[in-house]
Amino acid sequence: MIKKRQSSSKHGSLKSTTNRPDLEKLRPMSSSSSWLHQIVDLYPPGSSNRDWTCQYCKIIQPPRTRHCHDCDKCVLQFDHHCVWLGTCIGKKNHCRFWWYIFEESILSTWTVALYIESLHLDIEKVWWKDFIGVILLAVLIFILMFLLLLLMFHTYIALTNQTTYEVARRKRIFYLRGIPDRVHPFSKGICRNIYDFCFTRENGFVLEAVPPIEELEARAAPYTCRDLFCCRCC
Ligand SMILES: [Zn+2]
Ligand SMILES: [Zn+2]
């Protein structure tokens, strides 16, 4: 993996180090555009200028970056735009978002348990006399199921170093197109993925290169018993 650093905000949005007129002058073969050369190296050979330039910000995007139309900025390791929190979930706040879902799940479980206990105390009452209470309990259980599924999903993508956007739009992202579903191109193993997910750097970030096609083809090979012990599936 090639490691590069660039300035970023709290959720990992990209801040251009060059103003827009300067960026528009950048060309792949320009010797002054070191940022551009660094980014080009992260993409597979044959990628074009259109593939890695944001048409809204005119910023050269590293892999895994996407422009958010709600925030009107490019977000590194874009996961999704959360309408409930009113912000993008990206490189720098994905871990905090996971803890947020975890805490919400615990809170909902506790509320459901207290609710069932309170209904149980009135067991002698006919159930339809507490109809509204039963309806509220059903809604609470539905929310709890949703939160648990969301928590499981974000745990899965954290363990495999993916994002919601990459999972949902895998076939539309040019450098992921054609890669078998079971291959997670940016995964470095469960332990390293958890470390990178939990411990994001406060100053700058590490850019990830798209692995070469030979490496991805090797990872797509059928699993053997030995691979299970080596944790290759991760
Ligand atoms: Zn943008
Ligand atoms: Zn956003």
Ligand nearest to the CA of 9: 2
Higher-confidence residue of 1 and 51: namely: 51
pLDDT per position as a tens digit, 105-115: 999 999 999 98
Query: Residue 208: what pLDDT?
Result: 86
d(CA 197, CA 201): 10
Query: Residue 45: what pLDDT?
Result: 82
Distance 199 CA to ligand 1 centre (A): 25
Residues 57 and 63: beta-carbon distance below 8 Å:
no
Distance 173 CA to ligand 2 centre (A): 19
Per the structure block, which two tokens stand in for 219?
């990872």
Residues with catalytic roles = 82
Give residue 23's Cα distance to chain centre: 27
Distance 86 CA to ligand 1 centre (A): 18
| Amino acid residing at 138 | A
Per the structure block, which two tokens stand in for 147?
């939160």
pLDDT per position as a tens digit, 120-139: 766 666 666 677 888 888 99
pLDDT per position as a tens digit, 40-80: 888 888 778 788 889 999 888 999 999 999 999 999 999 99
Query: Residue 14: what pLDDT?
Result: 64
| Amino acid residing at 199 | F
Residues 18 and 9: beta-carbon distance below 8 Å:
no
- Overall average pLDDT of the 18-22 stretch: 40
d(CA 91, CA 166): 13
Ligand nearest to the CA of 85: 2
d(CA 178, CA 116): 49
d(CA 182, CA 161): 13
Contacts of the segment 190-199: beta carbons below 8 A, 24+ positions apart: 190/159, 190/231, 190/234, 193/158, 193/159, 193/160, 193/161, 193/234, 194/158, 194/159, 196/161, 197/94, 197/95, 197/98, 197/158, 197/161, 198/95
Residue 161 burial (CB < 10 Å; 0-12/13-18/19+)?
buried
Please indicate, yes or no, whether the overall pTM of this predicted structure exceeds 0.85: no
Residue 162 burial (CB < 10 Å; 0-12/13-18/19+)?
buried
